[in-house]
Structure 1
Amino acid sequence: MHVQVSSILGRVDRWLGEYLADAVTAGSAPLDVAAWTVPGEPGGAGEPVAFADVPDPATFAPAVPGFEWGRPWGTTWFQVSGRVPAGWAPDDRHRVELSLDLGFDGAKPGFQCEGLVRTPAGRVVKGLEPRNHHVPLEAGPGELFAFLVEAAANPDLSGGDDFKGARAYAPTPLGDPRSAPDAPLYRLGRLEIRRVDTEVERLVREVTVLRGLALELSEHEPRRAALLAGLDHALDELDPGDPAAAAPAARAVLAPLRASPAAASAHRIVATGHAHIDSAWLWPSRETVRKVTRTFANVVDLMDRDPDAVFTSSSAQHFAWLKRQEPELYSRVKQRVAEGRIVPVGNMWVESDVNMPSGESLARQLLQGTRFFEREFGSRSDVGWLPDSFGYPGALPQLLRKAGLRWFFTQKMCWNDSNPMPHHTFLWEGIDGTRILTHFPPNNTYSGDMRPTELARSVRNFADHAGASHSLMPFGYGDGGGGPTREMMWDARLQSDLEGSPRVRFGTADALFGTIEREYASPPVWSGEMYLEFHRGIYTSQARTKRGNRRNEQLLVEAELWSASATLRTGAPYPYDELDELWQEVLLLQFHDILPGTAIAWVHREAEASHERVTERLEGLIETALRALAGEGTRSLAVNAAPFAASGVPAFGGAADEAAAAAVAATALPDGGVELASPGLRVVITANGLIAHVVDLASGRDLVPPGLAANLPQLHVDAPAKWDAWDLDRSYRANAVDLVDGTVTLRADGSVRIERAFGSSRLTQTVTVVDSAVHIRTVVDWHERRRMLKLAFPLDVHAQDAAYETQFGYVRRPLHANTSWDAARYEVCAHRWVHVGEPGFGVAVANDGVYGHDVTRDSIDGRVVTTVRQSLLRAPTFPDPDADQGRHAFTTVLAPAPTTDEALRAGARLGAPLRRITGAAAPVPVVTVTGVDGAPTSAVVSAVKLADDRSGDLVVRVYESRGARTRATLRADLAVAEVRECDLVETPLADGTTAVVDDGGDGTGIVLRPFEVLTLRVRGNHT
């Protein structure tokens, strides 16, 4: 039987690949082709060009099949023209269309050349991709036609389908037009007009689907035998010399097999068209703009021809790009949105990384995206949509729900390398207790193609059959591959009710979640973060991009604070438009292949430049607002914007920092070391620059264990098995070098300078003591390859777990490796601080732009040592061969911290620089949050701004930082008419202000649950 099966399959495959493939085309004729290459450096000024700037096609040079075109990242315009053959009269069996092969190869769609077809008048017709390069033609027999094609010579950096080829990980100069070679990448293939035999075309789809289904069934199932026998008999009807003649007869043989229905208990799949498009990755965002255009062109064309087609699309930024670049196509997209066939989802500006952006940044992703969808389409989605982000923090369920989202969709967790997630449909519970219904597609992709093997995988993998019967399958080629195709639509319909297959229907994610809610009465609960056991290197790669993000998200909040205060106090205009523009630029750079450091060199070069421009503009806004608040005068003033209320210290102070720094005594020791002493600490630095002692004078405890030293740089070999910029393999720990050789200099200002050289790099540190904290400024001139630099702090703390700051709170992770889940978290994300403690004592390690950390515990002669390490730098070579080369600067704070409150204060101070201005009086923010009657509070201000609707209302966001219930008082320096709770997108809640308590007019009383985020609209009497 096995021989017979192999024989049948071999026969089917030859017919599909040779005889039937050729017979689909009933006739063809070549086109006239001419070309014009856009001059200038690819990606430079004037390249690519707008349609209006394309010269007269009459000036294009003739091109023939095999014509070489497209230096990397360049653009070539082609004119294709011809006449429909006179004998091609329309009939019920044939279709006339163009087939334009720009030189496509076998690489994955979206990772090679692409094209956009326009009419001579400029109207967008359709995109061209490797598996979707037909162009509809309305001309009749004997009529002339012409089109223009904008062809993008994007190089293939993927290394082949599914990124399994070795060249996927090799350094390449193609990631930046400055280093890419000039030689053309592509040769034109066949550009022709075709007469398509639709009967053969349908036969091809039916044979393909039935063959695929047969291979998914057990060899003992009668249905499998029937399918193979039926395919064999259908081919008996055909003549290899003229397959088209008997195509109807072959289809008739297959008809009973197609008509046999699925089992009543069959799994149900909701199929929705999709085309996940990375906002930048192996291409710059400039190219994403064109990928978006090409994809939407394909989707609109498909919908014009197939009434069943629906399409799910996220990222307000993508719609905004389309509106700006192609307003006519955008109007067609808006019409399909109004019909419910193109469905915007996610309500975010881009599909952001969600581990590293601040809580306020995630709130703005949702604010900016939701506001765009409401303004443009008149509605917002119920579905959170992040299929490709690299893990999901425990703060996210609350943020999604408070932005009005009911459900959450992702699939990335199927990439775990150690522990599979136990469910596909479940309630995800965040750190505050908020739950959101969540679904993973069991076929483990957001870019399905409707093959039987994918449907069968959905059934095999689905972990919740006992309670649920539905799953989602997003299908379509992504990343510029063209989205859903007509072939996928045909295959889905063939499998809609087919014996041996799950049932398939076209629909939307909303419909799927609605069905789940109705049928799944008690879904299981997953509590806390969804840590991705993969891609652990993303917390460190491309450090400059990460530091720029941290700096600018803090400056944005500060600019809003001072600008709102200046507007309400002095009448200065509030910079709504500029703040929107700057937020949107930073939010784009938080995309899940930009902020994680996993894009090509071009992307990160532009990201760093963008961050520098944003910083400059924000500093200007802050200075303007502070000058307006300070007024005319000559007094020297100092202010900052640190939200210190969590520890009982009034917010927005800062002068104390200078006073404390001035009280430090520095003493050179006989052994070449240095002692630094402040009223709070005694610090001993050894002659080679390590920190031997950090004695907390209040408790008498030394933070550093006996015989060990902190501030220890460690260099690791970092050569992951694949995915260089993404992955940090556990094996990196097997190779470590302690960088202990160094020189120490006591400087005149009382600071200590430490210098080290290693490999081709240099490391310089400046150590100071500020009150009860050690500040370490580390500058690295980094020129290593495939290495990782960490900074280690062994601590004399008996910690069971560590607290790591996350958005609007923190997450605790155990320090043991008792389970495979614990062992897999060997590199984790933290924002501004990590805290380790034991009852009555603890230590904070804070940073100004680092995200990757590891914390371990060891026992030395029965004494537990807890080591906190910051991951400062990596040196991957793919996709950017020069990632992180050059100069970097980091600030680390080491401080006694009995609780996480002190850790929060240490981290917040690093992001709130002391600003010196001159004026009449020190600026004071328009809002303060303090404890009730002077009592401590863990309520922290996250944002103070004017409402986006430009009503003049003040928006204040606070959160609970400790994981405990707390009370606080909000005071606004204006005549308050009303304070109302609203959602993250600033819409007042319909059910009142349950979290806000009026305390008699002396401010507004606030009651917060553990880690709760509360957004308030304050309306003044003037509004």
Structure 2
Amino acid sequence: MHDDRKLVEARLERVLRERVRPAVHPATTPLSVEIWSTDGEPVPVAEGLVAPTRPIAPGTPWGTPWGTSWFKVTGTVPAEWAGRTVEAVLDLGFTPRTPGFQCEGLVHLPDGTPVKGLHPRNAYVRVGAPVAGGERVHWRIEAASNPDLEADGVPFRPTPMGDRATAGDAPQYVLGEMRLAVFDETVWNLVMDLEVLGELMAELPVDGARRWEILRAVGRALDAIDLQDVNGTARAARGELAGVLATPAAATAHRVSAVGHAHIDSAWLWPLRETVRKVARTASNMTALLDEEPDFVFAMSQAQQYAWLKEHRPEVYARVKKAVADGRFVPAGGMWVESDTNMPGSEAMARQFVHGKRFFLEEFGVESDEAWLPDTFGFAAGLPQIIRAAGSRRLLTQKISWSRTNDFPHHTFSWEGIDGTRVFTHFPPVDSYNCEMTGRQIAHAARNFKEKGVATRSLAPTGYGDGGGGTTREMVAKAARMRDLEGAATVEWETPADFFAKAEAEYPDPPVWVGELYLELHRATLTSQAQTKRGNRRGESLLTEAELWAATAAARTGFRYPYEELDRIWKTVLLHQFHDILPGSSIAWVHREARATYARLAEELEAIITGAQRALAGEGTRELVFNPAPHARGGVPAGGAAPFDGQGDKAVPTPRDGGGYVLDNGMLRIEIDGRGLVVSAYDRIAGREAIAPGQAANLLQLHPDFPNQWDAWDVDAFYRNAGRDLTDVAGLSVAGGAVRVERAFGASRVVQLLSVPISAKRLDIDTEVDWHETEKFLKLAFPLDVKADRYASETQFGHVYRPTHQNTSWEWAKFEACNHRFVHVDEPGWGAAVVNDATYGHDVTRTVRGDGGTTTTVRASLLRAPRYPDPETDQGTHRFRHALVPGATVGDAVREGHRANLPERRVTGGAAEIAPLVTVDNDAVVVSAVKLADDRGGDLVVRVYEAHGGRARATLRADGFDTARAVLTDLLERPDTDAEPPARADGGLVLALRPFQMVTLRLPRV
């Protein structure tokens, strides 16, 4: 034979497209279709099943944006099809686009029993195999006409379709053919044979014998096909391929553990309510496929999504529970949602695992051993300790492969967090969490795998996500052919636990990566949708405060501890930490609802806090201050109230020579010039100026912001090449003990209040921005006279250090990073902190001045104005609170960061003073949670961590609780049998903590 390989490949592609694939369904007959539509919210299934319908023909437009239509589909299997396999092929108007981003449907029997989901690459419903002929077909399809936000093929174009309020009512889809069809399994298998071999052939070396062996076999198979009688000759064509498909893989072949998967964003280009239905469709699909394919295994993460099924589609949930019990539908990850991990605070990140793992344990008796976060935008360095403390020890993600600057050096490794905790980590080298089991993808995984020679296996999450229905029968068929096939990696369906066990066994001493797993992409998610981020921060703070005061009041007054309310609110806040909600990368509808939700939750939490504090204060007329602000010394308080002493006053502004004002409390002197800029922040105690010579702090800077891609997600480094300082002042005055600065720029206005407390070495800056810019980036700059080669930014249960220099591409790539409540810079003997109450994104840079000194500039990121996917992102009024703390140690930064997020509360009552329920005698040990145990047994749960980055010894006391019977627990409040019990002394617990160590204690009532 002398067939040119390119001719054979081209011939294969055309014969498949034009002859073989169409022959899978050699005979068809139309179904009768009727429709009923609602433009409002989805109706209950029972209502949709009986809704009055009208006939609709193929080619008819249907479906307003975000609407729901119920199709009635009926027909009869022709008698002459008896003995054959028959299925329906139902085209709702699908486009060639990826599943999950267009219309979707869920097929029901007339009694409401769900059958399976419909998607563009999974549009069949089996009728019988074989049929008797004459069977009556009757289905009801709940179809969602979700708009394709990229339907014109141009991604990231601003669109009004992201909110029902602006999407209009034009039909989104045109009904396709709805037909019964004979399914020729032999032809379908021929398609699978040819696709697998063709894809494998394309990946093999051009001059390799195996490629030519496959090429010749494919050529013979194509010769065996009668193009006028594909169905009659398919078996003979398959026979020509049997030999090359039976050749076993080499012993050294890479091993791929496939796990069925359907990465479903809990919100993104659709609202939360639509995700409820996406999950039901996908779970219906996957439980059906599990029944058909005995080797197949499917994994689904996000306890919230299971909870939605339980609440909204109990009949689907029952099928899931059975499949879980059979060990084939795997609850993965153990988190409430696949959250962002950069921005959630310490307690919120812990509670993601608490609520996720507890749900899986209570509902299924299953405890996941891995964190499953394939799509999260980078991973904070505090996460390994949290994973371990939750009883897990592994992590899977794929997202770091999206980094644009540096190629991460490992696929399997040990990740070490800030406290020294390590977790076994795997990045699938297939570089996708939606693997389609193509030969190209499997070959890429084998070539790409960086641990060759010391490890042999990787994992491939396989299936269409985002409502795309999960794994398909075609993917399962391809995996079966690659189970043991020469030239390909071997593929086997396995659970995540089985994969990790084998990977750890063969690679017991993997390389170690220390510190955060920074994604060199999507950095703007730390700033986009500022009100969503403020709502999250406020929700976290109010929740921990509500737990503290409710526990204190319950222990001392009999106040009813609001278990149910706190559980529900925590889960709602955790849901909104999903990695496309909190990062600000969802459609307008999602963020509009998030703002309303946060406001409602804040109102509920404020009521809980007020009720508990009033119970503690009792009856009387004395004014008590709860959460009294720590002053120049003292750690982070864990509750308590004292009579108001009037020390909340501010230093009185006085005129400054040359214009402006001075704020001076004897510890700190602030000079504000006529432009409203801080030109001096003099630490009187240290005799040290904080502001770099000739520079000004409280400087707002405006940059153009038009990234190359991913508008809401990305800010590209070139944004720094242009921009302007906002130094024009529209008003400068004194207002209530503060200096009031007004500015106007573009279509926006800013009002700032600058003040210095009487008894704290701190400059408070309250900023209100009425923001109406487009594609701009607003920063707040503090150029500090500090020679800092690195800086600290708070993360979960500690802080992480990052270099201020750009010696390598790794440092350069971190030009925008995350902090929680503070950023701290220092040189030996003196430092400064910038704290905040709602922002996360920031940058820190350094320059050497002409005088030889070094300026380290800290800039907080305030606002952006991207136009996709929400064209009105951040338009409106925003409030921020920052503080500059000259002379600050890390401990001062920790304390002031807490203060900025914990408001003083004044309550009238009769108590002389309310002592804290829990006290710790070392400022380095921070109490992050005080609550009653979730099992409602009345025990007190206290979580503390070492916050300064050194070893700490502290005595913890809890009023009314028995320290002698205290036990260390994991995050789920279960005794930690491996931990050394805490020592007791003087009626307290003596804790010896390593740097950044977090511990949870459970104390019974006395």
Q: TM-score range by the shorter chain?
A: over 0.9
| Unaligned segments of structure 1, at least 5 residues | 41-46
Superimposed CA distance per residue, residues 440-488 of structure 1 (whole angstroms, 9 cap, x where no aligned partner): 1001011101101011000111000121101001100000000001000
Aligned pair 1:54/2:44, yes or no? no
Q: Is the 8 A contact 1:929 1:968 kept in 2?
A: no
Q: Which residue of 2 aligns with 1:712?
A: 699
Does the alignment pair 1:197 with 2:184? yes
Which of 929, 942, 960 pairs up with 1:956?
942
Residues 641 and 436 of structure 1: is their aligned pair in 2 closer, same or farther, counting only changes over 3 Å?
A: farther
Equivalent in the alignment of 2:1002: 1017
Tell whether 2:157 aligns with 1:157: no
Q: Say which SS state the counterpart of residue 569 (structure 2) adopts.
A: helix
Alignment of 1:254-403 (within 5 A): 254-403=241-390
- Residue 44 of structure 1 corresponds to which residue in structure 2? none
The equivalent residue for 2:10 is: 10
- Correspondence 1:849 to 2:868: no
Structure 1 position 930, deviation (Å):
2.3
Q: Which residue of 1 aligns with 2:872?
A: 882
Summarize the alignment of residues 782-797 of structure 1 with structure 2, pairs less than 5 Å apart: 782-797=771-786
Matches within 5 A, 1:747-762: 747-762=734-749
CA deviation profile, 1:158-178 (whole Å, cap 9, x unmatched):
468xxxx5x211100000010
Equivalent residue number for residue 925 of structure 2: 939
Between the aligned partners of 2:314 and 2:854, the Cα distance in structure 1 is: 64
**1:135 alignment partner in structure 2:** 125
1:909 aligns with 2:909: no
CA 1:908–1:897 in 2, change beyond 3 Å: closer, same or farther?
Answer: farther
Letter in 2 for 1:176: D
Cα distance in 2 between the residues matched to 1:542 and 1:2: 62
Secondary structure, counterpart of 2:753 in structure 1:
strand
3-state secondary structure, aligned to 1:261:
coil
Mapped partners of 2:969, 2:633: distance in 1 = 23
From 973, 990, 994, give the equivalent of 1:1005: 990
Shift of 1:647: 4.2
How far 1:339 moved relative to its partner? Answer: 0.8
Structure 1 counterpart of 2:102, one-letter code = Q
Aligned equivalent of 1:863: 853
- Report the AA paired with residue 270 of structure 1: S
- The aligned amino acid for 1:801 is R
- Residue number among 480, 486, 492 corresponding to 2:479 in the alignment: 492
Deviates more, 1:47-56 or 1:960-969: 47-56
Aligned to 2:570: 583
CA distance in 2, matches of 1:142, 1:629: 75
Change (3 A) 1:400 1:643: farther
Q: Deviations over 1:747-773 (max 9, x none)?
A: 252211101110111111111111311
State which drifts further: 660-669 or 714-723. 660-669
1:146 aligns to what?
A: 138
Cα distance between partner residues in 2 of 1:24 and 1:393:
49
- Structure 1 window deviating more from structure 2 (565-574 vs 581-590): it is 565-574
Question: Counterparts of 2:857 and 2:912 in 1: how far apart (Å)?
Answer: 42
Following superposition, the deviation at residue 212 of structure 1 comes to 0.4
Q: Aligned partners of 1:791, 1:849: CA distance in 2, in Å? A: 13
8 Å CA contact 1:645, 1:939 repeated in 2: no
Deviation of the 1:657 alpha carbon? 9.8
Please name the residue that 2:426 is paired with.
439
Q: Secondary structure at the match of 2:653?
A: strand
Does structure 1 residue 893 correspond to structure 2 residue 887?
Answer: no
Matching residue's letter, 2:66? W
| 1:211 corresponds to | 198
Q: 1:872 maps to what in 2?
A: 862
Mapped contact 2:641–2:914 kept (Cα < 8 A): no
What is the identity, as a one-letter code, of the residue corresponding to 2:821? R
Pick which of 764-773 and 880-889 moved more. Answer: 764-773
Deviation at 1:648, TM superposition (A): 4.5
For 2:914, the aligned partner's letter is V
TM-score (norm 1): 0.96
- In the TM superposition, what whole-angstrom CA distance separates every residue of 1:842-876 from its partner, at most 9, and x where no partner exists? 00100110000000010111110110000000000
Q: CA deviation at 1:140?
A: 3.7
Q: Which residue of 1 aligns with 2:817?
A: 828
Whole-Å separation in 1 of the counterparts to 2:917 and 2:638: 10
Give the 3-state SS of the residue equivalent to 1:201 in structure 2. helix
The counterpart of 1:98, out of the listed 88, 92, 107, is 88
Aligned to 2:71: 78
Contact map agreement 2:743 2:751 (CA 8 A) in 1: yes
* Paired position in structure 2 for 1:28: 28
The aligned counterpart of 1:43 is: none
Output the CA distance in 1 between the equivalents of 2:427 and 2:354. 25
Q: Distance in 1 between matches of 2:365 and 2:916?
A: 34
Report how far residue 937 of structure 1 moved.
Answer: 3.6
Inter-partner Cα distance in structure 2 for 1:929 and 1:940: 10
In structure 2, list runs of 5 or more residues that go unmatched. Answer: none
In structure 2, relative to structure 1, the CA distance for the partners of 1:134 and 1:643 (3 Å cut) is: farther
Instruction: Go from structure 1 to structure 2 and tell me whether the alpha carbon gap of 1:366 and 1:641 turns closer, same or farther (over 3 Å shift).
Output: farther
Return the letter of the residue paired with 1:1012.
Q
Pick closer, same or farther for the CA change 1:774–1:660 going to 2, 3 Å. Answer: farther
Q: Which amino acid aligns with 1:899?
A: T
Letter in 2 for 1:101: D
2:324 and 2:355 map into 1 onto residues whose CA distance is 19
SS at match of 1:87: helix
User: How many Å apart are 1:676 and its aligned residue?
Assistant: 1.1
Amino-acid identity (%): 52
Tell me, in whole angstroms, the C-alpha distance in 2 between the residues paired with 1:140 and 1:597: 54
Are the counterparts in 2 of residues 407 and 438 from structure 1 also a CA contact under 8 Å? yes
Give yes or no for contact 1:73–1:152 (8 Å, CA) kept in 2: yes
Change (3 A) 1:599 1:917: same
Deviation for aligned residue 1:272: 0.5
Q: What is the number of residues matched between the two proteins?
A: 1000
AA in 1 matched with 2:928: S
Aligned-pair CA distance for 1:238: 1.1
Does structure 2 retain, via aligned residues, the 8 Å contact 1:642–1:911? no
Cα deviation per residue 1:698-726 (whole Å; 9 max; x = unaligned)? 01111112211111100000000000000
Choose from 950, 973, 980 the match for 1:994. Answer: 980
Q: Which residue among 494, 519, 538 is the counterpart of 2:525?
A: 538
Letter in 2 for 1:77: W
Give the partner amino acid of 2:80.
G
- Is the 2:371–2:396 contact (alpha carbons within 8 Å) kept by the matching residues of 1? yes
Aligned twin of 2:917? 927
Closer, same or farther: CA 519–440 of 1 in aligned 2, 3 Å: same
Secondary structure of 1:921's match?
coil
Over 3 Å counting, the alpha-carbon distance change for 1:129 and 1:122 in structure 2 is same
How far apart are the structure 2 equivalents of 1:23 and 1:649? 72
- Measure, in 1, the Cα distance between the counterparts of 2:632 and 2:544: 17
2:222 pairs with 1:235: yes
Where 1:168 maps in the other structure, the secondary structure is: coil
Are the counterparts in 2 of residues 663 and 679 from structure 1 also a CA contact under 8 Å? no
Measure the CA separation in 2 of the matches of 1:732 and 1:900: 31
The separation in 1 between residues aligned to 2:481 and 2:633, in whole angstroms, is 61
Which amino acid counterpart does residue 73 of structure 1 have in structure 2? W
Q: CA deviation at 1:896?
A: 1.6
CA distance in 1 between counterparts of 2:635 and 2:564 reads 36
Query: Which secondary structure state, in structure 2, belongs to the residue aligned with residue 193 of structure 1?
Result: strand
